Amino acid sequence: MVSVMEATISLAIQITVLALLTIAYALKNRKKFRQHGILMTTSVLLHIITILTVMVPSFTSYSSGALGSGVISIDPDLIITLIHVTLGLIAVALGIWLTASWHLKTDLQRCFANKKLMKPTLIVWVIAILLGIYLYIRIWATILQL
């Protein structure tokens, strides 16, 4: 089980990622593509760290409790969790692919070829983060009786 401190640190990192995504988007609009790429790469790395250290253990613990009895109870939080996990995995996979194809190149023409995927990736990522914030509030507020 993930501790409240680990979950809170993960939440803080995800809010930081959301801020970095916003700043990176603004940099892209100002045609500062190298800085945009550096912030996006940083966001992907932070996202991967929180997925591996907090989200996977948390989901494993949550899903074993929710599905452990063999009886699946369909409740809104379970549906939101599954949507969050699905969108988060799609976002991180696309983020890894986009940043790996860029990997700090000085010639940005290959990046522009991937432009069609960038905005949908950003939208999916932001939705996944917002759902994660909602789940944090629901899960930890319930546990801590906030």
Q: What is the DSSP string of 69-107?
A: TS-----HHHHHHHHHHHHHHHHHHHHHHHHHHHTT-S-
| Residues 43, 34: Cα–Cα separation, whole Å | 14
Is the whole model's pTM more than 0.85, yes or no?
no
| Residues 53, 4: Cα–Cα separation, whole Å | 13
CB 28 within 8 A of CB 80: no
Give residue-wise pLDDT tens across range 11-64: 899 999 999 999 999 998 998 988 988 899 999 999 999 999 888 888 777 666
Query: What's the domain range around 131?
Result: 4-144
